[in-house]
Copies of this chain bind each other. A is one copy, B any other.
């Protein structure tokens, strides 16, 4: 398993409820690709959303995000962290 940070652009105006619903939609199916979404942070002003996950691959992260209705614009492995 590796850690990934994915980024969604264009989510301007996202609300706390919408972020929670999107996260729940990921959690509901994530085990089918062996992904674990850990955290998500959103900036409603700029529309940037960041999701931290553990997954076997970036493709697995994207499969879950796509099936949940919100494909990521960038997915980066982040093997280094402090």
Contact with B along A48-82 (1 / 0, CB 8 A): 10101000000000000000000000101111111
* Chain multiplicity (copies): 2
A48-B19 contact in complex given A41-B3, A81-B41, A81-B42, C-beta closer than 8 Å: no
Given the complex, which residues of B lie within 8 Å of A14, measured CB to CB? 80
Select A78's contact among B41, B76, B81, B82, beta carbons within 8 Å.
B41
> Could you tell me if B5 and A50 are in contact, using CB atoms closer than 8 angstroms?
yes
Residue A10 lies at the interface, judged by CB distance under 8 Å to chain B: no
Q: Which residues of B contact A76 (CB under 8 A)?
A: 43, 45-46, 48
Q: Which positions in A face B, CB cutoff 8 Å?
A: 3, 5, 14-16, 19-20, 23, 39-46, 48, 50, 52, 74, 76-82
